[in-house]
Amino acid sequence: MTVRPILRYPDPRLAMPAATVEQFDLSLRHLTDDLLETMLAAPGIGITAPHVGVLQRVSVIRLEPHAPVLIHVNPSVIEASGPLQRFTEGSVSMPGFTEEVERPGRIRLRYQDLDGGWQETEADGFLATCIQHEVDQLDGIFWTRRLSRLKRDRLLRKYEKQAG
């Protein structure tokens, strides 16, 4: 397992939709192992292959140190419902910057496992937010695009000032 370099915002690859994974082989398993190591080192609770410059639809999520690792290949949110909820979001590609984002409180996710088998699962609360955040990234939608224009402009000004 290797800790890979993380792309920093505004790298243009973070705004590109990721390609569908078609080969379910050892290289995919190595990629997910590296994503987990990279996410833990960042530190973070979610990461996608595009965060490390690999434009494939793969995400890894682990909400707490002893929680199970969730690996989603080719994920898509097929249903979003429930009342909207607000949670603080950020990105391993923009460390140290967070803001509240509003998203649906419940989702149904369709994805493939590491063997290529199709799965469906439901999530609510913070996990639903995390999954939506990572699927957005796979679609080329950086989390700041979910902010109001005022909040996004303010956050980006602070980020640019710190980045130098």
- The pTM of the full predicted model, rounded to 2 decimals, is 0.97
- The whole-angstrom separation of Cα 78 and Cα 88 is 23
Res. 96 pLDDT band, cuts 50 70 90: very high
* Residues whose CB is less than 8 angstroms from the CB of residue 70 and which lie 6 or more positions away in sequence, other chains included: 60, 61, 62
Instruction: Assess whether the previous peptide bond of 68 is cis (omega < 30° from 0).
Output: no
pLDDT in tens, 65-79: 999 999 999 999 999
From 64, 79, 120, 134, the catalytic residue: 134
Domain range list for the chain: 12-163
Is 134 labeled as catalytic in the residue annotation? yes
Q: What is the mean pLDDT of residues 43-69?
A: 97
Under DSSP, is residue 96 helix (H, G, I), strand (E, B) or coil? coil
Residue 77 phi/psi, 5-degree rounding, is -80, 115
Domain 12-163: give its CATH architecture: Alpha-Beta Complex (3.90)
- The whole-angstrom separation of Cα 3 and Cα 30 is 11
* Residues whose CB is less than 8 angstroms from the CB of residue 8 and which lie 6 or more positions away in sequence, other chains included: 93, 94, 163
